[in-house]
Amino acid sequence: MTVAESVNATKVRYAAADALALLDGIDTLIATKGKKVETFDLKDARPDDDELLARLMGPTGNLRAPAARIGRTLVVGFNEEVYARVLK
């Protein structure tokens, strides 16, 4: 496994169950939408599936793009500052 893996959500479709499965082995979820950034600590207090799906899924019912697994962190959505921080 590489340090950083990405999923092209425009080409690979992920339904709700598939999106939740991406969280296996993930300690931190960072969900971004524009300048709004939400960080979830999944190893200590995992939110319920509905709350996670609200951050993972886009309006079309598929995984939001871009989505990248970086180590034990999953970043969903694009925010330049977040990517700069997690890719250091």
pLDDT tens digits, one per residue of 38-81:
999 999 889 999 999 999 999 889 999 888 999 999 999 999 99
Residue-level pLDDT at 11: 75
Neighbour tally for 83: CB within 10 Å: 16
CA atoms within 13 A on the CB side of 50: 0
Tell me the whole-structure pTM to 2 decimals: 0.86
**Could you tell me if 66 and 6 are in contact, meaning their C-beta atoms sit under 8 angstroms apart?**
yes
Residue 18's domain comprises: 4-86
Please give the tally of structural domains in the chain.
1
Q: How far is it, in rounded angstroms, from Cα 61 to Cα 14?
A: 8
